[in-house]
Structure 1
Amino acid sequence: MSHSRSYVSVLLLEKIGGKLPIGVPLGDDLVKGIYDMYGEIAELGVDHRVDIRYSNMLAAPQGPTTLPSVPSPFTGRIYTHRMIDIESCEKTNEEAWMLTAWQGSWVDNIVDNLPDGCIIEPWD
């Protein structure tokens, strides 16, 4: 290495569960949790709107061999789901309320249509 500092990089992976249920009501707590996840990254100025899709919202791992989830520093809640496929996220200077509204409109398309058995993709 050409620099004098020593670095240690760690990639932590987590085995993720299944997708959101299709054709049944999602439940208020689950829906609120999904909106809150995107609201939290909006608070950090992260825009994920390009790839907010049904297949990118997976259940958090559960069971005796999994590590416990850490409560959110913003809401204090422990999420039951994870957002994945975040390589298209961008750090922006947009205000959190704007990002929350924009990302929320994409989440609306997903959670409003899943109980009817429909998966709405961003390109639909």
Structure 2
Amino acid sequence: MTAPLDLVYSHFQPPPGPFYEELLLDSVPERLPSRLPPPGTAHLEGHLGKFIGDGNSGIVFELDTLQLDGAPPAQGTVPRLVVKIARSNRLAALARESWFYDEMECLQGSSIARCYGWFEMELSSGQVVPAWREHPAEDPRDRDHALDHDGKTIHPDQLKRTARRDILSVLVLEMLGDRMPLGRLPSDDKVDIMSLHEDISHLSLAFSDNARRQNILRAPQEEPYLPSEVSPFTHRTHAWRVIDFEFGVKTNYTAVQLSLSYKGRVRRMFEDAEEEGAEDEVPAAFPEDRRTGELLQCA
């Protein structure tokens, strides 16, 4: 599948005067040209492996026993991969996420995970997706909240998706490492994670809820994996990656303005992680204090 170029609403704010060069661009930037080769005829086969996690929009599994056929010999090595399966009521969210991976193609393998495609199939009558049954949504009737981020302009393709419950939609992604831990991070890691969001700023992309510890993962570390690319903007080889991109918009804000906005959110993310880590380190109450604690809770 390929998401339409106009799938995601672009937020344009007219410059209020001549002295806003560092705040607003004259227009929303066009997408950078793709550097991928033309589509080929390779066939990847694999099986769902270990369950990795789930959220509001998707369910993630590692892919096992991978076999790639029909690819040139130089491209025959398959890195460790995961598959993100959209929940039955979150088809629009996964389509949006696919759009953002296309939009940020130049950052794949440096600041964000490599994306190997968005795939869909229509389910036959009575066909069951085990992942939906084994990892159910809190409320499968919920509206797809990805549409709340499209302003007044919602793409017709997305409106159709909200009414469907018979489509299996997946993203195939590079497998990343561990999530950002609780506690105080070394300063080098903080600088690196801050730089990830600076990279995204250069593409004029704004994500309202992306600066969360759960969305920061280490670069791939378990073989087989592909080496990290150098960022085209900050020229860093990052040790971390950002994930989860369905809640965002493209803007005409400058990289300077967006980077400042991200810095505040990322700093708060570091502070929250340190506070939660400190709470986990508080020793348990002594046995003779348990009764006092129960009384305080009742009060």
- Measured against the shorter chain, the TM-score band is 0.7 to 0.9
Query: Any gaps of 5 or more consecutive residues in structure 1?
Result: 1-6, 119-124
Which residue is 1:27 aligned to?
186
The answer as to 2:271 corresponding to 1:112 is: yes
Kindly state the Cα deviation for residue 102 of structure 1 after the two structures are TM-superposed: 1.1
Structure whose residues are more often strand by fraction: 2
Q: Distance in 2 between matches of 1:26 and 1:112?
A: 10
Q: Distance in 2 between matches of 1:101 and 1:32?
A: 14
Which residue is 1:41 aligned to?
200
SS of the aligned residue for 2:217 comes to: strand
Identify which of 18, 22, 26 aligns with 2:178: 18
Q: Does structure 2 retain, via aligned residues, the 8 Å contact 1:49–1:102?
A: no
Identify which of 102, 105, 118 aligns with 2:261: 102
The TM-score normalised by the length of structure 1 is 0.79
> Which entry has the higher C-alpha Rg, 1 or 2?
2
Pick 1 or 2: higher relative contact order, CA cutoff 8 A, min separation 6. 1
Identify which of 68, 78, 87 aligns with 2:227: 68
Between 1:49-58 and 1:65-74, the stretch displaced more is 49-58
Count of matched residue pairs: 111
SS of the aligned residue for 2:241 comes to: strand
The TM-score normalised by the length of structure 2 is 0.35
CA RMSD of aligned residues (A): 1.9
Kindly state the Cα deviation for residue 93 of structure 1 after the two structures are TM-superposed: 0.1
Counterpart residue identity of residue 22, structure 1 = L
SS of the aligned residue for 1:26 comes to: coil
Which residue is 1:4 aligned to?
none
SS of the aligned residue for 1:117 comes to: helix
Q: Distance in 2 between matches of 1:108 and 1:58?
A: 17
Kindly state the Cα deviation for residue 87 of structure 1 after the two structures are TM-superposed: 1.2
Between 1:11-20 and 1:82-91, the stretch displaced more is 11-20
Which residue is 1:121 aligned to?
none
Q: Distance in 1 between matches of 2:204 and 2:220?
A: 27
Counterpart residue identity of residue 36, structure 1 = S
Deviations 1:70-112 (A, max 9, x none): 0111122111111110111211101111111111111111112
Question: Percent identity of the aligned residues?
Answer: 31
Q: Distance in 1 between matches of 2:227 and 2:268?
A: 30
The answer as to 2:211 corresponding to 1:52 is: yes
SS of the aligned residue for 1:47 comes to: strand
Q: Distance in 1 between matches of 2:249 and 2:223?
A: 35
Deviations 1:22-73 (A, max 9, x none): 12x2011110011111011101111123332111111111134111010111
